[in-house]
């Protein structure tokens, strides 16, 4: 074989080896890209979780959401790796969270694998709440002049509130209150219309007959409450229910 022919064959062999090397490199790079792409696609985007939380919060607020509503969603760890959900993850208020004002949203996925994550949220908005207009003493019965509606941040309403003054008028304070203080169930109690030792009218109603007599209240009571009373004539102690009139209807 001539030297020239041998040289051409060596050149072709080297070229083939070089081409195969490039081909293997490209194939390896393509495979790596596909694997990387698959891994990326298999991870649930954190943005979609955050969007799911926000959508749930807005839907839960409904008409209560206004331009003044502020929604703070807890940050997710950027290293979090959850399998991508085959559908949009579902959202619900986490057990133990009474409201979205300062609660937790549970985001769940069921396919292709099951996972669950809890995301803290804080919603702050203006709410019309009943507040005190002037200093009130303990056991004072509330009148219309004592309260008004005032725009209040929901962050201050964790203990509850009243949204109409009519709901508190006639109730009695449990302790002294200051102007601007938000009223809630823990601060109020039904007004006592009967005091212990007070002389009251006892009433017994039977079909076709109504009997009234005098008695002595043995304990304080509000309208609708049952208290013990002593019949002034017979000295018998019985129970009765206080009516709005202040009479005590006996249960015989």
The percent of residues in the chain predicted with pLDDT above 90, rounded, is: 63
At residue 102, the pLDDT reads 85
At residue 76, the pLDDT reads 94
> What mean pLDDT is predicted for residues 139-168?
92
Number of C-beta neighbours around residue 119 at 10 A: 21
Using a 10 angstrom Cβ sphere, with 0-12 exposed, 13-18 middle and 19 or more buried, the burial of residue 53 is buried
The percent of residues in the chain predicted with pLDDT above 70, rounded, is: 83
At residue 205, the pLDDT reads 86
**Nearest one of 200, 193, 229 to 214, comparing CA atoms:** 200
pLDDT tens, position by position, 196-240: 999 999 999 888 888 999 999 999 999 889 999 999 999 999 999
Q: Which domains does the chain have, with CATH numbers?
A: 46-124 (no CATH), 126-190 (3.90.1210.10), 192-250 (2.30.30.760)
Q: Are strands 248-250 and 126-132 parallel, antiparallel or unpaired?
A: unpaired
Per-residue burial over 124-139, b if 16 or more Cβ lie within 10 Å, else e, is bbebebbbbeeebeee
Enter the pTM of the model.
0.54
Alpha carbon of 202 to those of 207, 209, 218, 220, 242: distances in Å?
17, 14, 13, 15, 9
């Amino acid at each position: 074989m001539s030297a020239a022919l041998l040289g051409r064959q060596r050149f072709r062999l080297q070229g083939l080896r070089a081409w195969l090397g490039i081909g293997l490199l490209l194939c390896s790079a393509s495979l790596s890209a596909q694997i990387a792409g698959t891994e990326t696609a298999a991870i649930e985007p954190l943005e979609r979780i955050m969007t799911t939380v926000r959508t749930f919060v807005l839907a839960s607020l409904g008409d209560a959401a206004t331009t003044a509503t502020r929604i703070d969603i807890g940050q997710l760890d950027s290293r979090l790796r959850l399998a991508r959900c085959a559908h949009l993850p579902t959202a619900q208020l986490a057990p133990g969270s009474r409201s979205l004002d300062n609660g937790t949203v549970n985001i769940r996925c069921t396919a292709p694998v099951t996972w669950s994550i809890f995301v803290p949220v804080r919603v702050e908005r203006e709410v019309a709440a009943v507040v005190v207009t002037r200093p009130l003493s303990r056991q004072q019965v509330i009148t219309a002049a004592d309260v008004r509606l005032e725009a209040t941040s929901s962050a201050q309403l964790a203990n509850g509130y009243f949204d109409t003054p009519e709901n508190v008028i006639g109730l009695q304070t449990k302790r002294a209150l200051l102007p601007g203080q938000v009223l809630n169930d823990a601060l109020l109690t039904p007004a006592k219309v009967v005091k212990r030792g007070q002389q009251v009218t006892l009433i017994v109603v039977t079909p076709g007959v109504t009997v009234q007599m005098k008695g002595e209240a043995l304990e304080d009571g509000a309208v609708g409450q049952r208290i013990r009373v002593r019949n002034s004539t017979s000295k018998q102690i019985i129970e009765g229910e206080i009516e709005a009139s202040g009479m005590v209807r006996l249960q015989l």
